[in-house]
Structure 1
Amino acid sequence: MESKLVELNKKRHSIYALGENLPLTQDEVYELVTDTIQSSPTAFNSQTVRAVVLFGEKSNRVWDIVEETLRKIVPAENFQSTADKIASFRAGAGTILYFTDMPTVEKLENDFKLYADNFKPWAEQAIGGAQQAVWVALAEQGIGASLQHYNPLIDDAIRAEFDLPAGWQLRAQMPFGSIEAPAEDKPKLAKDEQFRLFN
């Protein structure tokens, strides 16, 4: 069966060889990201996802913070590979920071006590769905990206650097840019190991 959406999902890969030559303007990328997130579902229409889109030196500052933070904890003899990886993210055109708005989650926990234990997991589902949707939307435009998780190590420094609300909890970082080299193929489980059909 043919499906445009399935084909787009197959086009989405973790791209680590990034460049600055985007096929869209910065304004178009920002519109793509914000429209995609706003159209992604959230439980109770809670809209708990927050995002910051950074370009140029502002984006580089994210990876400076990551490098400065990791330099303090990664042994010096092992740090070069870490620095090289961070440099590959810095080489891109920009970075998307994904956050969960915790005051919204906490309000829902208080307002709907029957479901209180579910709102944090539901917020994680919401942000995962938003990240996937943005990643696919970027891939459709020929823009490469990957998803990184240096939180919570960098949370306080990122919040201070960009003057972000205290209630925004950093969940992931997505460097993006032009695709300078294709992604590596990754093995997939056999379908009979991963799925079950009953009919």
Structure 2
Amino acid sequence: MSTPFLETVESRRSLYQLTNTSPIPDARIKEIVSLSLKHAPSAFNVQSARAVILLREQHEKLWDIGLKVVQEEMPPAAQAFLTKRVVGFRGAYGTVLWFEDEDAIDILKQKNPAIQRLLPEWSSHSSGIHQFINWTAFSKEGLGCNLQHYNFSAKFVESVHELWNVPRNWKLKGQLVFGQPVGGPDRVKEYKPIEGDRMLVFA
């Protein structure tokens, strides 16, 4: 019964050749993000994940910011490649911004002082699960995606908060770019050996 799910997991890849169209309606995009928010696990069921969906012109505004970041903050040797990448992001249909609510995490820290040092790590685990569910579900629906982390730039993060009035206690974690794919992965993915190197079994 789990085979279709595992097949989707296996086929999910980073796709960069995307158009500004979608094979599914906006309502379905919202439904998938909502499902990811509702059903992904979190530490003590804190439900600290937050999402902002940017479509069409709003999505383009985001990557206009990304382009400025590349031009102003990246070393000259990297600018040509990264500019091409960001132009590709901008040409897609939308982006889901994934956040973690730091106020929710702080409340949980106060309730559980013995484990408070671990909560930021657990928060990151949960955020990754949310993003993975979103990405895999989009792939199943025919959307191509790639996951970005332009939150390395303070200017990018500040611009996101200001432009879309995002609460300051929401910490930006990742940007899932999506659109109609027009090409496959950029490269053949190589896999390291599993048994012995990456997995141990004791019975």
Aligned to 2:166: 164
Aligned to 1:187: 190
CA displacement, residues 22-57 of structure 1 (integer Å, 9 cap, x when unaligned): 111111111111112211111100001001011011
Paired amino acid for 1:176: F
* Counterpart Cα distance in 2 of 1:126 and 1:46: 10
1:84-95 to 2 correspondences below 5 Å? 84-95=84-95
* Counterpart Cα distance in 2 of 1:197 and 1:5: 24
- Confirm or deny: 8 A CA contact 1:37 1:133 kept in the other structure: no
* Counterpart Cα distance in 2 of 1:144 and 1:90: 14
Q: Secondary structure at the match of 2:73?
A: coil
Q: Secondary structure at the match of 1:33?
A: helix
Question: How many aligned positions are there?
Answer: 199
- Confirm or deny: 8 A CA contact 1:152 1:170 kept in the other structure: no
Q: Secondary structure at the match of 2:47?
A: coil
For residue 67 of structure 1, report the CA deviation from its aligned partner. 1.0
TM-score, length-scaled by structure 1: 0.95
* Counterpart Cα distance in 2 of 1:17 and 1:77: 23
* Counterpart Cα distance in 2 of 1:177 and 1:58: 14
* Counterpart Cα distance in 1 of 2:143 and 2:26: 12
TM-score, length-scaled by structure 2: 0.94
Paired amino acid for 1:194: R
CA displacement, residues 116-135 of structure 1 (integer Å, 9 cap, x when unaligned): 11211111011000001111
Paired amino acid for 2:169: G
For residue 76 of structure 1, report the CA deviation from its aligned partner. 4.1
Q: Which runs of 5+ in 2 are unaligned?
A: none
State percent identity of aligned pairs: 26
37-46 or 68-77: which moved more?
Answer: 68-77
The 4+ residue runs of structure 1 with deviation greater than 4 A are none
Aligned to 1:127: 127
Q: Secondary structure at the match of 1:52?
A: strand
For residue 5 of structure 1, report the CA deviation from its aligned partner. 1.6
